[in-house]
Amino acid sequence: MKRYEGLFILNTAGREENAKELIDKVAAEITAQGGTIETIQKMDKRSFARVADKRHSAGFYVNIIFSGTPALVSALRARFVLNEDVFRVLITVAPPAKQAVPAAS
């Protein structure tokens, strides 16, 4: 299993209070497809640099680090393309986790 980092831009237009609910749905989708979530980092709402649709000028950014197979990544991309609550998804291979180095005495 590889370690992946997923950057998700969620559509919270008019429903900022539901951001946690959307994050839980994304996390549940990852685990339902066979992934193991390590960390979830909520990065807050940010405005888009280029606005393609005037109704949506900002999105809620979330960074999720998870482990899974390459087939999992393909399945997740296919699922999130169909999900109207997710604007964009960028999934990359995450760098290895840093191991704690014991202090020399």
Task: Give phi and psi for 90, each to the nearest 5.
Answer: -125, 115
Q: What is the pLDDT of residues 42-53, one digit of tens each?
A: 988 887 777 766
**CATH code of domain 2-93:** 3.30.70.60
Q: What's the mean pLDDT when you consider all of the chain?
A: 85
**Residue 56 exposed, middle or buried by CB count within 10 Å (0-12, 13-18, 19+):** middle
pTM of the model: 0.81
Domain ranges across the chain? 2-93
Residue 6: predicted pLDDT: 94
pLDDT bin (cut points 50, 70, 90) of residue 59 is confident
Residue 14: predicted pLDDT: 67
Given a cut of 60, whether residue 105 has pLDDT beyond it is no
Longest dimension (CA), the chain: 60
Given a cut of 80, whether residue 61 has pLDDT beyond it is yes
Q: What is the pLDDT of residues 76-101, one digit of tens each?
A: 999 999 888 888 899 999 888 776 66
